[in-house]
């Protein structure tokens, strides 16, 4: 079973290096941020993990949450505006 996991990880790494891996792109209005979670092998796998990420953002009081499933190679995993956290309230 351990060999299958290694092959899967290698496949995800290959797809990610080519920009073909699946990522969850979660955009919040407040704070104004874009978050990338992944990489995943399939859209179904990404969907199965999204609830945990959404719950974390809701606990952090993020609002205006939009989720997209994308194939990409993000340069940064979190991109936020320069608004100081005190101004988010």
pTM (2 d.p.): 0.83
pLDDT tens readout for residues 39-57: 999 999 999 999 999 999 9
Q: Given this model, what pLDDT does residue 10 score?
A: 94
Residue 39's alpha-carbon distances to 12, 75, 88, in angstroms, are 7, 13, 29
Task: State the pLDDT at residue 1.
Answer: 52
pLDDT at 71 over 70: yes
Would you list the domain boundaries of the chain? 2-88
């Amino acid at each position: 079973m351990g060999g299958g996991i290694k092959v899967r990880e290698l496949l995800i790494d290959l797809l990610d290096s080519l920009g073909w891996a699946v990522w969850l792109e979660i955009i919040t209005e407040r704070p104004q941020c874009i978050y990338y979670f992944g990489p995943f092998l399939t859209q179904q796998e990404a969907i199965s993990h999204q609830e945990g990420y959404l719950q974390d953002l809701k606990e952090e009081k993020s609002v205006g949450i939009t989720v997209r499933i994308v194939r990409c190679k993000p340069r940064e995993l979190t991109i936020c505006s320069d608004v100081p956290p005190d101004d988010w309230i």
